[in-house]
Amino acid sequence: MIQIDDQLISLEVIEEAFVCDLNACKGACCVEGDAGAPLTDEEVDILEKEYPNFQSYIREEGKASVAAHGTSVKDSDGEWGTPLRDGKECAYTVFDEKGTAMCGIELAWKDGKTSFRKPISCHLYPIRTKQYKEFEAINYERWNICSVACSLGKELKVPVYQFTKDALIRKYGEQWYAALEEAAKKYYKMD
């Protein structure tokens, strides 16, 4: 483990390689699973407020799910997440002409229609975070649908923390990320 401030980072975030290959997986992480993307309490409020700004980017099926369930839902563990469309993909998922899943919220963000990029849990993936009383755990999540991303990451020699650089900076800041890079350098010198 590496500790920066009150975050404990699994060594796998430094050791494991990962680069999304949307041509291969078609954005399966937006479609697979039994719950929507995890949301922070702040994101619950942001989604409610920003929904009119990105609603036009969402498919009709997604809009129907939001109308029925709201912009956020609580799962069986009492955790907030994005709503699903009929128990399938995230309600905010759209598909391009090749059938690749993309985030409708992020498409609106790229067009300057919303200030909210997408849930931080999506942006950080394959990193998952968990807040505890004394610290926040930052872990690498293995999922079989991402095996191609692991292979591509190894081929390109891109560790998880480098692949998720923008998201880590978004969540923790530039100084925090610089400290993580320094810790990774020291770790590899020791290895």
Interval 14-32: pLDDT, tens: 999 999 988 888 777 777 7
In this structure, are 58 and 121 located in the same domain?
Answer: yes
Domain boundary among 69, 102, 125: 125
Name the 3-class secondary structure at 140: strand
Please name which of 150, 127, 88, 97 lies closest in space to residue 9, comparing C-alpha atoms.
127
List, for residues 118-162, the tens digit of each pLDDT value.
999 999 999 999 989 999 999 999 878 788 888 989 999 999 999
- Identify the residue with better confidence: 116 or 75: 116
In this structure, are 151 and 176 located in the same domain?
Answer: yes
Average pLDDT over residues 94-109: 93
Whether 171 and 128 have beta carbons less than 8 Å apart is answered as no
In this structure, are 101 and 136 located in the same domain?
Answer: no
Residue-averaged pLDDT of the chain:
91
In the chain, % of residues over pLDDT 70 = 99
Structural domain range at position 100: 36-125
Whether 27 and 101 have beta carbons less than 8 Å apart is answered as yes
In this structure, are 102 and 56 located in the same domain?
Answer: yes
Whether 56 and 169 have beta carbons less than 8 Å apart is answered as no
- pLDDT reported for residue 189: 78
In this structure, are 110 and 158 located in the same domain?
Answer: no
Average pLDDT over residues 40-59: 96
In this structure, are 152 and 106 located in the same domain?
Answer: no
Backbone angles phi, psi at 79, to 5 degrees: -95, 145
Q: Has residue 172 been placed in a domain?
A: yes
* Predicted confidence band of residue 191 (pLDDT cuts 50, 70, 90): low
In this structure, are 145 and 118 located in the same domain?
Answer: no
In the chain, % of residues over pLDDT 90 = 73
Long-range contacts from 85-90, C-beta under 8 angstroms, 24+ separation: 85/61, 86/61, 88/31, 89/30, 89/31, 90/30, 90/31, 90/36, 90/37, 90/62
- pLDDT reported for residue 60: 95
- pLDDT reported for residue 34: 73
